[in-house]
Chain A
Amino acid sequence: AQKVTQAQTEISVVEKEDVTLDCVYETRDTTYYLFWYKQPPSGELVFLIRRNSFDEQNEISGRYSWNFQKSTSSFNFTITASQVVDSAVYFCALRFNDYKLSFGAGTTVTVRA
């Protein structure tokens, strides 16, 4: 069975602080895809990043970076120098040898000015 766990329910920071969101997943497959989505109050899920299980290279994209560690089944996501517009619910999701996305419960991020 595939499962995604986001242990952090809520995170509150002051603007310009860094925010790291934790994601731990369970899967017995060797090939899978991991995603992070952002859901602002408007409700639309916005795609942020995707990572393939066979590529553990960690990257930085603007203020976003991620740390994928297959050995610990973790796919953490960091927002550097947070801004008020980053306030949203962030979801980690997993997809493997089928078509559906399995989402975690989400982490609510509040960035205060």
Chain B
Amino acid sequence: DAGVTQSPTHLIKTRGQQVTLRCSPKSGHDTVSWYQQALGQGPQFIFQYYEEEERQRGNFPDRFSGHQFPNYSSELNVNALWLGDSALYLCASSTGTSWASTDTQYFGPGTRLTVL
């Protein structure tokens, strides 16, 4: 049973560039959440996708956008990269349609983004 997978593992970009990160959820999961984890800090919620729509968004600018495909996989896009966007980007998958569901989010290995 494959877990959550993310690609690429590492990425180096320069300021102003755009980046796309990819995530495939755990088998049987239909919901994907994205988190940003700066060095030495806890993960911060970016947004969550369910049924190909953004269901909730954290305090991140519009430069951060996403997409979910019919097979439940997801992409995170970041435009006009800043130095401060350097972080580990984590994808988590889960099931459930309501807040009251007992779904647990399972995380992938992350993509380490470095912006120079």
Q: Which residues of A contact B (CB under 8 A)?
A: 4, 31, 33, 35, 37, 42-47, 50, 52, 91, 93, 96-106
Contacts and interface: CB of A to CB of B under 8 A. Distances in A.
A99 B55 contact: yes
Contacts of B21: none
A98 B107 CA distance: 18
Contact of B33 (A33, A91, A99, A105): A99
B42 A100 contact: no
Given A100-B56, A101-B105, A43 B99 contact: no
Q: In which size bucket is the chain B interface?
A: 20 to 34
Interface string B24-41: 000000010101000001
Interface of B: 31, 33, 35, 41-45, 48, 55-56, 58, 88, 90, 92, 99-100, 102, 104-110, 112
B48 A99 contact: yes
Contact of B45 (A91, A101, A106): A101
Contact of B88 (A4, A43, A50): A43
B110 A100 contact: no
A98 B112 CA distance: 27
Contacts of A91: 42-43
A44 B42 contact: no
